[in-house]
Structure 1
Amino acid sequence: MARRCSFTGKAVQVGHNVSHANNKTKKRFLPNLQVTSLYSDILDEMVRVRIAAKGLRTIEHNGGIDHFLMTSKDKDLGPDALKIKRRIEKVQAKQEGAAA
């Protein structure tokens, strides 16, 4: 499993630890990934995702996972987020077909 957030694209960064003597050693800055469940109103279920803490704040700021995914471009989302988006689109199309 890659150390990358499927929703925001936040990934591992590389830098240096710098000592007092200015010696530099490689360091990896890992994203703050969390496994959490988010509630989807359209799917009417909890969706389990691996997401960065910043991604959680972004989703809540945008009005929930459904609104965030539907307003995001496909090229900006990872494969896990795209699967959830496709499920949401399928359920929405079914609901619109039943209403018409």
Structure 2
Amino acid sequence: MSSVCQVTGRKPGYGKRVSHSHKRTSRRWDPNIQSRRYWLPSEGRWIRLRVSAKGIKTIDKRGIEAVVAQLRAEGVRV
């Protein structure tokens, strides 16, 4: 499953791991993705979102209804 936040769109970052001998190998920084259930009062049902820690803070600040409305405007099926 892809590690992309449904709210913020955060994706893994790519770069190089540098050893003591300065040999470089590829690595990636994964975002802190959590699978969370949220209650939608307007529809009377639970929805499940894959969100990053930053996405959870965004939902706490703006509210789940506003975030779901924005996701639907972008064409995401929720």
Q: TM-score range by the shorter chain?
A: 0.7 to 0.9
The 3-state SS of whatever aligns with 2:66 is helix
Aligned partners of 1:69 and 1:48: how far apart in 2? 11
Alpha-carbon displacement from aligned partner over 1:39-98 (angstroms, at most 9, x marks no partner): 112112221121111111111111x21112324651xxxx6xx212xxxxxxxxxxxxxx
- Paired residue type of 2:6: S
- Paired residue type of 2:57: R
- Paired residue type of 1:70: A
Q: C-alpha root-mean-square deviation of aligned residues, in Å?
A: 1.9
The 3-state SS of whatever aligns with 2:2 is coil
Relative to total residues, which structure has the larger helix share, 1 or 2?
1
Q: Which has the larger radius of gyration?
A: 1
**Structure 1: 5+ residue stretches without partners:** 85-100
**Structure 2: 5+ residue stretches without partners:** none
Task: Report deviation, 1:21.
Answer: 3.8
TM score, norm. by length of structure 1: 0.64
Q: What is the aligned-residue identity percentage?
A: 29
Residue in 2 that maps onto 1:13: 13
Relative to total residues, which structure has the larger strand share, 1 or 2?
2
